[in-house]
Amino acid sequence: MADLLTVGNVTAVPGKIQYGQWEALAHPTGHTEFFPIILAQGQTAGPCLWLTAGIHGTEQAGPLAIYRLITEELVQQLHGTIVALPALNPAGLRTMQRDPYHANDDPNRFWPEKKVISATDPDRDPPSSLERAYQGLYEKIVTSADYFIDFHNAWIGSLSFALRDRILYQPGDAADHDRALALAERLDKMVTAYGHTVVNEYPAETYIREKLHRTASGSVLQKSRIPAFTAELGTGLVPDPAIIQAACAGTRNVMRWAGMLKDDTEAIEGIRVIRPGYAVRRMRTPRVPEACIVHHLVDAGMRVGKGDVVAEMRDVWGRPVGNGVIRSSYEGLVLGRTNGVYFYPGQPIMTMAVRDGDSLTAPYPDTY
């Protein structure tokens, strides 16, 4: 625990919850936008846990989990410090839009990456004001954080799960590979302590192509080697109270694992926690072969086998399209159904957790 930790305009006080602001960006209309800060420090020294939420404006369960988690009672038991920012995208949260109107891109791809990008190309758009704000915030995170969790939401009615990134390392660098293995082991213990269903991220090439190394948790994990993961809390715009309670219990369990709380581990109750008995990774599958209306026949948490019928395909008049059904190409677990029923060719109708035989570490792809 850093003595006199200051974040934005607020400084930690042992035994207290402090509230402040991180000045983020200026608008051309003359006002400024800030990220709210909640800074809670125990009476005794211990690790520093950063919690963030609200980076996508349609994902509003994370802020509620932070508000419910940080209480006076918790602080009296706390060894160490919690730094929480419940609204990383205030514009998106206000308008209930995933992306902020002033950046017009996914804000969870704005965080620093390991590779240095040249800033001298005059035809390349410079970083947005929000990306620059995250850069400054990132620098503060990595100078004080021991652990990091970023709260998100997935799809309507989806499972609550911990999304675990693979640890990337430099090809041919034995020491970096060893560091990646050690970090992967520590991260595994962290997500296991969280106690929700655990799902691995995409393989390395897809991970880089999707810019997931530039998410908040991906950036902290890959660039600064701080244990970090994304907590997906199910439905966003109408948060599930049971998932919020389970997220709080899971976060307290992470704190117990980290030595920040000394009491007994809590049971994760009120939600489905699935342990398939083998490692799984997320995959957007199956996909529709042609334009159609989809009637899902499975729901989040259900297990499906390869070849099982998971949906019906119909045209706009309700008649069967093709052979009328969509079958799963994989054995696995349904994480959530894609929102909506109208689909174009190639679009996935749900996301599954399928068997993952790859390592939890991987070299950076040659394309990176």
Q: Are residues 172 and 126 in the same domain?
A: yes
- Asked if 215 and 346 sit in the same domain, the reply is no
> 261 is written with which tokens?
């709380």
Residues 232 and 297 in one domain: no
**Inside any domain, residue 119:** yes
How would DSSP label each residue in 157-176? TPPEEEEEPPEEE-TT-HHH
For residue 98, what are the CA distances in angstroms to 24, 54, 94, 265, 271? 18, 9, 10, 34, 25
Task: Give the pLDDT of residue 119.
Answer: 67
Measured between alpha carbons, how far is residue 310 from residues 2, 249, 251 in Å? 52, 33, 34
Asked if residue 273 belongs to a domain, the reply is no
Q: Of all residues in the chain, what percent carry a pLDDT higher than 70?
A: 99
Q: Please report the pLDDT score of residue 1 as a whole number.
A: 47
Q: What whole-number distance in Å separates Cα of residue 54 and Cα of residue 130?
A: 14
What's the rounded mean pLDDT across residues 162-176?
Answer: 97
Q: 153, 61 in Cβ contact below 8 A?
A: yes
Q: Report d(CA 194, CA 188) in Å as an integer.
A: 10
Which residues span the domain enclosing 41?
A: 6-257
What rounded mean pLDDT belongs to the chain?
A: 96
Residues 241 and 291 in one domain: no
Stronger pLDDT, 116 or 151, i.e. the higher one: 151
Name beta bridge partners: 82.
40, 49
Closest CA to 153 of 247, 62, 251: 62
Using the predicted structure, report yes or no on whether residue 117 has a pLDDT greater than 80: no
What is the pLDDT at residue 115? Answer: 86
Let me know if residue 275 belongs to a domain: no
pLDDT-derived band of residue 125, with 50, 70 and 90 as boundaries?
confident
- For residue 268, being part of any structural domain is answered with no
Q: Is residue 368 part of a domain?
A: no
Q: Are residues 24 and 160 in the same domain?
A: yes
User: What is d(CA 156, CA 159) in angstroms, rounded to the nearest whole number?
Assistant: 9
Q: Each residue of 5-52: pLDDT tens digit?
A: 999 999 999 999 999 999 999 999 999 999 999 999 999 999 999 999
48 and 186 part of one domain: yes
Statement to judge: residues 192 and 247 lie in one domain:
yes
pLDDT at 263: 95
Q: At what angle do helices 241-257 and 61-69 cross, to 10 degrees?
A: 50
What pLDDT was estimated at residue 118?
66
Whether 236 is covered by a domain: the verdict is yes
Cβ neighbours of 101 (radius 10 Å): 11
Q: What are the strands of the beta sheet with 292-296, ordered from one edge?
A: 320-327, 309-314, 292-296, 342-343
Strand order in the sheet with 280-284: 16-26, 32-41, 79-85, 44-52, 147-152, 228-233, 160-164, 197-200, 280-284, 350-355, 332-337, 303-304
Do 27 and 158 sit in the same domain of this protein?
Answer: yes
Percent over 90 (pLDDT), the chain = 94
The domain total for the chain is: 2
pLDDT digits (tens, 9 = 90+) for 266-313: 999 999 999 999 999 999 999 999 999 999 999 999 999 999 999 999
29 shares its domain with 146 = yes
Rounded to two decimals, the pTM is 0.96
The answer to whether 257 and 306 are in contact (CB under 8 A) is no
φ/ψ (deg, to 5) at 348: -75, 140
Asked if residue 267 is part of any domain, the answer here is no
pLDDT range class, residue 126, cuts 50, 70, 90: confident
Query: Average pLDDT in the 247-263 region?
Result: 98
CATH of the domain at 105: 3.40.630.10
Mean pLDDT, residues 63-81 taken together: 98
Task: Look at the block and give the residue holding tokens 């799809």.
Answer: 155
Same domain, 343 and 224: no
Do 167 and 214 lie in a common domain? yes
- What does the pLDDT read at residue 2? 52
Write down the pLDDT at residue 367.
86
Both 234 and 307 in one domain: the answer is no
